[in-house]
C-alpha cells in the first residue's frame, strides 16, 4: 500500500495566457519558509493546467507564453530540499490549448453542442476533451515527459476524469466500429465507459513507464462506489469535498465511510477558499479549516487543502497563516491516527453501488445523515465487501434483491447478522415480492399517489407505535412519498398508516398542499420487526435527506435502537450537529468527538465551476463554541482514558461491562485515548 503524508497542499495553477510575468517573483527560500511554518509536508505542483499550458520546457505541449524559465523545476527542487513531498499534476479531461489547435478532439453531445464548462465558443470556461480522440495519445506523451523530467516525484495527479455521452467525430467512429448505435442512450453510455477504461489503462501505464511504483491518482471529484474495476489504477484515493464549494459538511464523512473499507490509503481534500476552486482573494475562516482537518483525522483520512498560486509565483501569507493553524494541530495529533482502523456497529449497503448511479444517491446520503446525527458507528459498503463486521446492515430504500445478493445476505443472517430494510429494499429485483420473511403480507405500493407521481399531489400519514414516536409528536405525520402496503401477521408492527381523504387533483383538492388524513387508520402498517429483520414501509432515508424533518429521524432511530438494544457500542448526549467516531490502534482505542455549528450564509450564487455552479448558498463555520458536560457511554472494558495530545485524565464511571466518560468541556475536536 502507498502511504500518504498527513499535511498536504493541492496547489492549483490554472493561468491565462494573457497574464504576464508568470512565476517572476518565485523565491525558493521564501517558498520553503512559508511551507515549513505552515507545517506542510507535501505539495502537488503543476506540469500542465486546464488552460493547456506547461510550466516547464516541453517537446510535447507548449510552455506558458509568459514563462521564461523552468518554474516547475525551481518549485520542485526547493520543495524536495525542504524535505517536503512533491507530486506532479497534469490536467487530463480539459485542455483549452489542445482544443483550440485540434477542435475535432473536443467532446460534443448528441445535438452537436460542446460539453463541459464552456458550451459555446463565446462562453468563458474550460473545454472537455474526447478520450476516444488522438487527444489521449497527446496526453500520454505529456505524462511520459513529466515522469522523465521528474522520475523521483511523489506521484502523478491526473484531473477531471470524465467522459460524457460524446458524439464527436472520434466517438462516432468508435461506436460504428464496435457495433454501438449512437442514437441509443445505453450505447452512448457504453462508449463512454469504454473510453474511460482505455483512458485509465493508458495513462496509468504512461505514469508508471519508468517506475512501476509511481503513485497515481485519477480525480473525478467523486470516488465511485462499487467500481472495483477502476481501483487497480489507483495507488491511493483523494476525496475531493469542499464543504463551502457545494459539497456541504456531510459529504466528506459519507465518502470516508466508504473509502475506509478499501485497501487504499486516502486523504480528504478541502480548500482554503470561501467558496470553491479558482477563487482568488477568498479566505475560509481559520476555525472552519481546523474543524475540517479534525474531521478528516476522525474518519481515518490524511489531510489536503486546496490553494491556487498567484501567477507571480508567491504563496499567499494569509492563506498559509490559516493553513498553519490547522496543520500544526494535525501534526500534534498524528501519533494517535497512524494505522488506526474505524470501529463499526452498523453497515450501509450503498444504493449507488447497487443501482449504478453517478454521484447522487439520495438514499445513501439520507442514511448516512441519520446515522451521523444520531452518533452511530457505521461504514458504507458495496456487495463485494465483508458484511460480518457489522451487527446490522441497512439496505436503504431502493435496493432490490437478486440471487447473488440473496445468497450473501442469507449467510449473513445465518451467522447472526441483522437487516434493516426500507421502501422497496428487500423486494426481488424481478417481481413484487419480498425475498425475506418479514412476518407481514405484501400488498404493493400505496395508491395514494396519482399515476404521474407529482410530489405534491399525493401522500399518506404515519403514526408510529407509542414507544417509537418523536418526543414532540403524538398525531399522524405527513409522509411525502407513498409507502409499500404491508399487513403485519407474525411480526411486531412499528405503527399505522393513515390515508388522506383523496389524492390531490385540479378539481379535487384541499388547502395549499395536503389533503388531511382520515380519522381511522388504513389497516396497513408503517413497518415491522420480525426476527432478525426490521422493515420501514416508506423510503425513510431518502425522505429524511429531502425534507430533514426531525420527527422522521427520531422514529427511525428509536426503531433501530429498540431493534439492536445492547448490541450498540456507543451512546452519548451529544447534540445532532456533533460527530463521533471510534478507532482501534494497536493496544488502544481512540474516541473522536467533533462539534462545530454550521450556518447557511449568503444568497443563491452563480459561480463558474465547482458544485456551486447550479446556485447555492454557502455553508459556513465561524464559531467553535464550547460544549459542556458531554457524556459518552462505551461497551468497552476501558481501564483508563485521557485527552490527547494534552494528556488530561478523563474520569470514568463503570456500570457492568459499560463505562461512561465525562468531558466537562471541549471545543472543535477532542481525542480520547482509551486503554483496555
Residues 269-290: pLDDT tens digits? 999 999 899 999 999 999 999 9
How many angstroms separate the CA atoms of 429 and 426, rounded? 9
pLDDT band at 48 (very low <50, low <70, confident <90, very high): very high
pLDDT at residue 616, as a whole number: 64
Complete domains list, the chain, with CATH: 7-101+127-163+200-341 (3.20.20.80), 344-567 (3.40.50.880), 571-675 (2.60.40)
pLDDT at residue 606, as a whole number: 67
pLDDT at residue 456, as a whole number: 47
How far apart, in Å, do the first and last CA atoms of the chain sit? 29
Q: Strand (E) positions, 382-506?
A: 392-395, 419-422, 440-445, 460-464, 477-479, 484-488, 492-493, 495-498
378: helix, coil or strand?
strand
DSSP-assigned states of every residue in 123-135: S-S-BBB-TTSTH
pLDDT at residue 614, as a whole number: 53
Is the per-residue pLDDT at 452 higher than 70?
no
Q: Judge if pTM exceeds 0.85.
A: yes
527: helix, coil or strand?
strand
The chain-wide mean pLDDT, for the chain, equals 94
pLDDT tens by residue, 540-581: 999 999 999 999 999 999 999 999 998 899 999 999 999 999
Range 653-667 average pLDDT: 91
Range 463-488 average pLDDT: 93
More confident residue, 316 or 513: 316
More confident residue, 14 or 482: 14
pLDDT at residue 302, as a whole number: 98
Is the per-residue pLDDT at 610 higher than 60?
no
pLDDT band at 150 (very low <50, low <70, confident <90, very high): very high
Share of the chain above pLDDT 90, in %: 85
Share of the chain above pLDDT 70, in %: 96
Is the per-residue pLDDT at 453 higher than 60?
no
Burial call 395-410: b when 16+ CB within 10 Å, e when fewer: bbbbbbbeeebeeebe
Q: Cell numbers for 87, please give them.
A: 507530486
Return the top range by mean pLDDT from 507-511, 534-538, 600-604.
Answer: 534-538
How many angstroms separate the CA atoms of 628 and 636, rounded? 23
pLDDT tens by residue, 348-377: 999 999 998 877 789 999 999 999 999 999
pLDDT tens by residue, 224-274: 999 999 999 999 999 999 998 888 899 999 999 999 999 999 999 999 999
Amino acid at each position: 500500500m502507498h502511504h500518504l503524508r498527513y499535511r498536504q497542499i493541492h496547489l492549483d495553477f490554472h493561468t491565462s495566457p494573457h497574464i504576464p510575468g508568470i512565476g517572476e517573483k518565485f523565491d525558493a527560500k521564501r517558498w520553503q519558509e512559508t511551507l515549513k511554518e505552515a507545517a506542510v509536508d507535501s505539495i502537488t505542483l503543476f506540469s500542465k493546467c486546464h488552460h493547456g499550458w506547461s510550466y516547464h520546457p516541453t517537446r510535447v505541449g507548449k510552455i506558458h507564453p509568459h514563462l521564461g524559465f523552468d518554474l516547475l523545476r525551481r518549485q520542485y527542487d526547493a520543495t524536495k530540499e525542504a524535505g517536503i513531498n512533491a507530486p506532479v499534476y497534469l490536467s487530463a479531461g480539459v485542455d483549452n490549448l489542445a482544443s483550440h489547435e485540434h477542435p475535432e478532439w473536443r467532446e460534443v453531445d448528441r445535438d452537436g453542442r460542446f460539453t463541459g464548462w464552456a458550451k459555446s465558443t463565446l462562453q468563458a470556461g474550460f473545454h472537455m476533451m474526447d478520450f476516444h480522440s488522438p487527444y489521449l495519445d497527446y496526453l500520454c506523451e505529456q505524462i511520459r515527459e513529466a515522469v522523465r523530467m521528474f522520475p523521483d516525484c511523489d506521484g502523478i495527479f491526473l484531473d477531471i476524469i470524465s467522459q460524457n455521452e460524446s458524439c464527436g467525430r472520434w466517438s462516432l467512429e468508435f461506436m460504428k466500429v464496435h457495433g454501438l448505435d449512437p442514437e441509443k442512450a445505453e450505447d452512448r453510455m457504453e462508449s463512454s465507459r469504454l473510453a474511460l477504461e482505455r483512458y485509465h489503462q493508458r495513462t496509468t501505464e504512461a505514469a508508471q513507464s519508468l517506475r512501476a511504483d509511481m503513485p497515481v491518482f485519477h480525480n473525478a471529484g467523486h470516488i465511485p462506489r462499487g467500481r472495483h474495476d477502476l481501483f487497480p489504477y489507483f495507488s491511493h484515493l483523494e476525496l475531493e469535498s469542499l464543504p463551502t464549494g457545494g459539497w456541504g459538511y456531510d459529504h466528506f464523512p459519507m465518502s470516508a465511510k466508504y473509502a475506509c473499507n478499501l485497501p487504499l490509503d486516502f486523504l480528504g481534500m478541502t480548500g482554503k477558499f470561501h467558496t470553491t476552486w479558482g477563487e482568488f482573494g477568498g479566505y475560509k475562516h481559520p476555525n472552519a479549516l481546523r474543524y475540517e482537518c479534525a474531521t478528516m483525522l476522525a474518519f481515518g483520512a490524511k489531510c489536503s487543502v486546496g490553494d491556487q498560486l498567484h501567477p507571480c509565483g508567491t504563496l499567499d501569507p494569509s492563506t498559509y497563516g490559516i493553513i498553519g493553524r490547522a496543520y500544526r494541530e494535525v501534526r500534534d495529533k498524528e501519533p494517535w491516527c497512524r494505522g488506526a482502523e474505524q470501529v463499526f456497529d452498523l453497515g450501509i449497503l450503498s444504493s449507488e453501488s447497487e443501482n449504478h448511479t453517478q454521484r447522487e444517491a439520495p438514499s445513501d446520503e439520507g442514511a448516512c445523515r441519520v446515522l451521523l446525527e444520531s452518533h452511530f458507528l457505521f461504514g458504507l459498503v458495496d456487495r463485494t465487501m465483508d458484511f460480518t463486521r457489522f451487527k446490522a446492515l441497512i439496505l436503504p430504500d431502493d435496493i432490490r434483491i437478486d440471487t447473488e445478493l440473496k445468497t450473501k445476505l442469507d449467510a449473513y443472517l445465518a451467522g447472526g447478522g441483522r437487516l434493516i430494510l426500507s421502501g422497496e429494499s428487500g423486494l426481488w429485483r424481478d417481481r413484487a415480492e419480498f425475498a425475506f420473511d418479514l412476518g407481514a403480507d405484501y400488498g404493493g405500493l400505496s395508491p395514494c399517489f396519482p399515476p404521474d407521481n407529482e410530489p405534491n399531489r399525493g401522500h399518506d400519514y404515519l403514526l408510529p407505535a407509542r414507544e417509537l414516536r418523536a418526543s414532540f409528536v403524538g398525531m399522524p405525520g405527513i409522509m411525502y412519498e407513498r409507502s409499500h402496503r404491508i399487513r403485519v401477521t407474525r411480526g411486531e408492527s412499528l405503527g399505522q398508516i393513515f390515508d388522506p381523504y383523496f389524492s390531490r387533483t385540479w378539481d379535487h383538492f384541499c388547502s395549499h398542499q395536503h389533503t388531511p388524513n382520515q380519522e381511522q387508520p388504513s389497516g396497513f402498517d408503517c413497518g415491522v420487526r420480525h426476527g432478525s429483520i426490521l422493515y420501514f414501509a416508506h423510503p425513510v432515508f431518502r425522505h429524511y435527506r429531502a425534507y430533514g424533518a426531525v420527527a422522521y429521524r427520531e422514529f427511525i432511530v428509536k426503531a433501530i435502537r429498540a431493534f439492536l438494544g445492547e448490541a450498540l457500542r456507543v451512546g452519548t448526549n451529544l447534540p445532532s450537529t456533533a460527530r463521533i467516531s471510534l478507532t482501534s490502534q494497536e493496544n488502544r482505542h481512540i474516541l473522536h468527538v467533533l462539534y462545530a455549528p454550521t450556518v447557511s450564509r449568503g444568497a443563491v450564487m452563480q459561480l463558474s465551476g465547482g458544485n456551486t455552479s447550479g446556485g447555492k448558498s454557502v455553508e459556513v463555520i465561524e464559531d467553535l463554541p464550547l460544549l459542556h458536560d458531554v457524556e459518552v457511554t462505551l461497551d468497552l472494558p476501558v481501564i483508563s482514558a485521557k485527552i490527547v495530545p494534552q494528556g488530561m485524565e478523563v474520569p470514568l464511571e463503570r456500570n457492568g461491562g459499560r463505562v461512561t466518560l465525562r468531558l466537562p468541556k471541549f471545543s472543535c475536536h477532542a481525542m480520547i485515548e482509551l486503554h483496555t
